[in-house]
Structure 1
Amino acid sequence: MKRRNFIKSSSLASTPFLLNGISVQSFLSRSLENLINGDNDRVLVLIQLNGGNDGLNTLIPIDQYAGLTAVRTPVLIPQNRVIKINNNTGLHPSMTELNTVWNNGMAQFIQAVGYPNQNRSHFRSQDIWITASDANEFLNTAWLGRYFDETIPNYPIGYPNSDCPDPIALSIGTNISETCQGTRGNYSLAVIDPVNIDVLNDPNLEPVPSTCYGEELSFLRDAVKQTNSYTDRIKAAGQKGNNLSTKYSTSALSEKLKTVAKLISGGLKTKVYVVNLMGFDNHSGQVNSDTTTGTHANLLTQLSNAICAFQDDLVKLKLDKRVIGMTFSEFGRRIKTTNNGTDHGSAAPMILFGSCINPVILGNNPIISTTTGDQEGVAMQYDFRSVYGSILNQWFNVDKAIVQRLIYQQYQDLPIIMGCTTTDTYDINEPDSLKIKLSENITTNQTTLQINGIINKFVNIGVFNDQGFQLQNEIIKTSGVDSITRIINLEQYPAGIYFVRVADAKYQKVERVVKVN
């Protein structure tokens, strides 16, 4: 019996064996260690928006109000209430604090992030985002777990130790995060209150029998010892740490990020923190009669205020150059509404924040047609794995070849980090010269795609339907040419809405085309 199976089948697996939310099982499954020492003390904070966030009511395309009004009136934010962050794009009116972070040059928005062949099931799409898999691929490890496997292949033998005394990842709450699942277990611990945390009683020290049971019992005892060692470190950091911002609210998310800031300031060398904000699956009740209020507005208020307070705290603690944060959600919502709610959709924006974040909007506003289909979601511009890969490369200094192997062979190098030294930085001054044009946006069978301004070694041409399923995919080696023409044949597909996406190593463009009979 493997150790993991032993734990699952033992009585411990059926009892709430937690230390203020720290699961002993998480310790027993290769959860701990300090990832990188000395040369890189950077931290990544993940905020998971559970349920599928409505991106069109979060990062609002002001220049698309004709289409939005035609198909989204029941949930549409009045245009005069949108917080403008530039002439074409704005934020939900409940996100005033996030607008402050943006105005301070500490936020980035990435438009229309998703993946080919969008799955609209919560559970499956969460798995895809967590594991960084293809839509038809099933992996047992998560994207950060594979990174940890690469960095500390010998764990858990000999850990914790004087060089690596702290947990690699912490989930603030009662459950460990699946984003940190590695080959031999999960690297994340769960903790609620790092100050009021108790150690486990020492295990029975009777002699261990020379049997399979004895081997597993010995492993369990070692795990309890590890648990207590990490508990002491977390508790010490919680007691030593401090919070200087007065902007935190009493929301659960604010309290979680406040805990993260306290632990970092207390000297904990944990590399990744994961927090959750639940409640985004708003098929109904997303808005009130005043569409600027309601369930979604309340959630965005919590998110906005928590990010602003956390960033303010980091700046006051002089830790802001060490920490970046990122939101993610399993999918966006459909463009058309269901009365006062929205159904499962496709792509949605991501929010990144921190003093080292390049403060720009990546990508273009989604195209919202007055003839939007009932099933139509926001068309993907960026593959989420390009965001993950760019963070690993630019923030944690992971070699691009390793990123391609661990995350995605064709990830795009996105301009995420700016103003903080990395070993392999993105050239933010390189212009986006990629241009695409379709000869016809309404056709009975085909349209001609013209690509200009190619500066990279390849382009990827994809054709998607309105639900995000990839119907065609072609990778073209450009061999130094700066323009390409291709015929996009839609003859074999039914009448409907399609999207043509062209991407190179850094940039991408999307065009909408309607096939009619």
Structure 2
Amino acid sequence: MTLPVMVNGFGITSLSNRSSLVQALMGTAAAATDRVLVIIYLNGGNDGLNTVIPLQYYSKYQSIRSNIAIPQAKVLTLSGMAEAGLHPSMIGMREMYNQGRLAIVNSVSYPNPNQSHHRSSDIWMTATDANQYSNSGWAGRYLNNRFPGYPQNYPNDTMKDPLALQIGVLNSTSLLGPQSPMNISVENINNFYALLNGGQGMSSNDLPCCDAGEMIKHVRQQQVLSTGYSGQIKKAYDTGTTMATYPTAGTTTELSEQLKIVAKLIHGGLQTKIYFVELGGFDTHGDQVTASDTTIGTHATLLRRLSEAVSAFQNDLVLQGTADRVVGMTFSDFGRRANSNASRGTDHGVAAPMFVFGTGIKRQMVGVVPDLNNDLEPPTSTTTNPNQEVKMQVDFRRVYSDILRDWFGAESSVTDSLLFRNFKTTSLFSNTIETTASGAWLDRSIWSAGRPPGAGDYVRVNPGHVVAVGQNITVRNIQVEGGGELNILGNYTINTTG
């Protein structure tokens, strides 16, 4: 058994030995209702067009990826959403959507995207621009701001539990703080606890000098920190229960088992703020589907595992009365090309959907499904079957900003600092759709949710924004802030239902 730690942002392992600091920590300082984020990394670059199928443009969809397209009759339709459906393997997440517990954020990426796995995943995890670099992750910076001074003097009376937990053997860059990882990594709870409570430690006098000594000192510090938390983790795991039926997992690396561990820790009273789990295998250059049936194959298996695991986890939260405390999100390295390749697969692309789930979401569709007729990026090659890219609608950092500000309650100024600048809301956690710029009412780009408001929406026109109305509109309520303006272009009416 190995103990995962981080040195200069790279995952390494070091055997943990007996320590005089072993202690059984009891109790919690954080409120039981404190909110939790679960991050699910879809490693490899998920094919968005075969995950959320653009039914509105099905003819074009079928023509540009005929050897992998999901038959229209097999697509899982969504309640009240004719423009899109889900892959037939995603029955559980379709049910979550229909229950109002799943949001689809369409065409998510970042400007000037990079199609290298390593670099693009680093951009997503650090929340930088494509031409910038950071040695800390977006979630790690948030935890560092919320719990200053970590890891010195932690655990303490204010926070006796790990700030973040990754279920796996290597730490994610997302959880790196400015000075050190903000998380503990655990693959098997019982082995982790046993490892940290046995063996003989190395004397501090045995440390070599200079950089090597400093590196080992840092590893030692992470081991001591893990030892301090081991009692709390083991206690929560043993105390926690699961009430939902999870898919049978062959190994602890499978997503269902990872989320089952997270559920047990949450329900065992652990006050950890962020959990990070992973499902790999999404780099589907070939054999994404079988030759005889495009609804089965590698991608279908991955989406089934995702859907079954997430829906079981969400059901567990509901059954145990903790659903209002927990929100989850998915992300991947990048999307994949709109057109398929000759190997029944897809190559590295740009934008793809994110999923955000939980009872705390206020809307279920941000942006619109990609317009495959008019809204693909220019070809990136001059071949007879040129690559076509799904154009970005939503910068992923807008979702991060909403999570930090609207879910965790960080001040707007703090959120802007953590993400290096301001990002407009997507209204994921708000009943109100607001303007982000001036323009025509039907111009989806001026609205926070990436689509014009509907009859059930509260609407706010922000200061300095002028919205031109050239048709009758119906919304629940509309508020025009000082300096904002609705410019009615004819004999049209504004109906409010709220």
TM range (shorter): 0.7 to 0.9
Is residue 311 of structure 1 aligned with residue 309 of structure 2?
Answer: no
1:53 corresponds to which residue? Answer: 46
The within-5 A match list for 1:350-499 is: 350-369=354-373, 373=379, 374-417=386-429, 426-428=430-432, 434-436=441-443, 455-457=461-463, 480=484
- 3-state SS, counterpart of residue 203 of structure 1: coil
Kindly provide the amino acid, as one letter, of the partner of residue 414 in structure 2.
I
- Mean CA deviation greater in 211-220 or 233-242: 211-220
Shift of the alpha carbon at 1:196? 3.6
Cα distance change on mapping 1:46 and 1:320 into 2, 3 Å: same
Tell me the residue number matched to 1:298.
Answer: 301
Alpha-carbon contact 2:96-2:102 (below 8 Å) kept = yes
SS of match in other structure, 1:344? coil
User: 2: CA distance between counterparts of 1:210 and 1:248?
Assistant: 48
Whole-angstrom distance in 1 between the partners of 2:52 and 2:347: 18
1:344-390 C-alpha deviation (Å, 9 max, x unpaired): 11110001111112241111110112996423211111100000000
Q: In structure 2, how many angstroms separate the alpha carbons of the residues matched to 1:219 and 1:37? A: 27
Give the whole-Å Cα distance in 1 for the aligned partners of 2:73 and 2:46: 22
Over 3 Å counting, the alpha-carbon distance change for 1:180 and 1:215 in structure 2 is: closer
> Which secondary structure does the structure 1 equivalent of 2:290 belong to?
coil
Q: 1:215 to 1:153 in 2, by over 3 A?
A: same
- Tell me by how many angstroms 1:149 deviates: 2.0
Is the counterpart of residue 273 in structure 1 residue 275 in structure 2? yes
Distance in 1 of aligned mates of 2:11 and 2:315: 41
**Partner of residue 328, structure 2:** 325
How far apart, in 2, do the equivalents of 1:370 and 1:98 lie? Answer: 29
Q: What is the distance in 2 between the residues matched to 1:405 and 1:218?
A: 31
Q: Within 2, Cα distance between the matches of 1:437 and 1:107? A: 21
1:103 deviates by: 1.7
Q: Structure 1 residues 370, 158: CA separation in 2 closer, same or farther (over 3 Å shift)?
A: closer
- The reply on whether 1:168 has 2:163 as its aligned counterpart is yes
Aligned partner letter, 1:381: Q
For 1:285, the equivalent position in structure 2 comes to: 287
CA gap of 1:102–1:216, structure 2 versus 1, over 3 A, is closer
Letter of the 2:335 counterpart: G
Tell me if the contact between 1:248 and 1:258 (Cα under 8 Å) persists in the aligned partners.
no
| 1:208 Cα offset (Å) | 8.7
Q: Please give the per-residue CA displacement for 1:298-339, whole angstroms capped at 9, x wherever unaligned.
A: 000000000010011111121111111000011111111102
Q: Share of identical aligned residues, percent? A: 39
Q: Distance in 2 between matches of 1:288 and 1:209?
A: 55
The code of the aligned residue for 1:337 comes to S
Q: Distance in 1 between matches of 2:128 and 2:247?
A: 36
Structure 2 letter corresponding to 1:183: P
Residue of structure 2 equivalent to 1:505: none
Which range moved further: 218-227 or 380-389?
218-227
| C-alpha distance in 2 between matches for 1:218 and 1:279 | 35
Q: CA RMSD in A?
A: 3.4
User: Does the 8 A contact of 2:165 with 2:276 survive in 1?
Assistant: yes
Choose 312-321 or 211-220, whichever is displaced more: 211-220
Partner of 2:31: 38
Which residue does the alignment assign to 1:89? 84
Deviations 1:154-191 (CA, angstroms, capped at 9, x unpaired): 12221112321111111101111211111101112111
Pick the aligned partner of 1:203 from 201, 204, 223: 201
Alignment of 1:334-349 (within 5 A): 334-339=337-342, 340-349=344-353
Letter of the 1:177 partner, please give it. S
**CA deviations over 1:450-502 (Å, ceiling 9, x no partner):** x9x9934578xxxxxxxxxxxxxxxxxx974668xxxxxxxxxxxxxxxxxxx
**Deviation per residue, 1:86-129 (Å, 9 max, x gap):** 21110000101111111222111111111111111111110110
Q: Give structure 1 stretches of 5+ with no counterpart.
A: 1-6, 25-33, 418-425, 439-450, 460-477, 484-517
3-state SS of 2:339 partner: strand
Q: CA deviation at 1:8?
A: 5.9
Q: TM-score, normalised by structure 1?
A: 0.74
Code of the residue aligned with 1:272 in structure 2: it is: I
**Contact map agreement 1:48 1:329 (CA 8 A) in 2:** yes
1:101 aligned residue? 96
CA 1:387/1:203 → structure 2, altered by over 3 Å: closer, same or farther?
A: same
Q: Is the 8 A contact 1:202 1:225 kept in 2?
A: no
Deviations 1:168-221 (A, max 9, x none): 111101111211111101112111121343115453568799997999887766
- Greater mean alpha carbon deviation, residues 39-48 or residues 229-238: 39-48
**SS state at 2:408 partner:** coil
Change (3 A) 1:66 1:257: same
Question: Is 1:246 aligned to 2:252, yes or no?
Answer: no
The TM-score, its normalising length taken from structure 2, stands at 0.77
Superposed CA deviations along residues 44-100 of structure 1, whole A, max 9, x for unmatched, are: 000000111000000111010121122111110000110111211100001011111
Cα offset for 1:240? 0.9
Contact 1:113/1:382, CA 8 A, preserved across alignment:
yes
Deviation string 1:409-466 (CA, Å, 9 cap, x unpaired) is: 231112222xxxxxxxx3426589743499xxxxxxxxxxxx9x9934578xxxxxxx
Number of aligned pairs?
424
Judged with a 3 Å threshold, the aligned counterparts in structure 2 of structure 1 residues 125 and 371 are, in CA distance, closer, same or farther, namely closer
- Aligned counterpart, 1:17: 14
Does 1:63 pair with 2:70? no
Q: Is the Cα–Cα contact under 8 Å of residues 32 and 269 in structure 2 kept in the other structure?
A: no
Contact 1:46–1:273 (CA under 8 A) maintained in structure 2: yes
Q: How far apart are 1:226 and its partner, in Å?
A: 2.7
8 Å contact from structure 1 (residues 357, 416) kept in 2: yes
Is the alpha carbon distance of 1:127 and 1:220 closer, same or farther for their aligned partners in structure 2, counting shifts above 3 Å?
closer
Q: Do 2:29 and 2:160's aligned partners in 1 also have CA atoms closer than 8 Å? A: no
Question: CA distance change for structure 1 residues 180 and 244 in 2, over 3 Å: closer, same or farther?
Answer: same
Q: Give the match's secondary structure for 2:184.
A: strand
- Structure 1 residues 371 and 179: alpha-carbon distance in aligned structure 2, compared to 1, 3 A threshold: closer
Q: Give the 3-state SS of the residue equivalent to 2:115 in structure 1.
A: coil
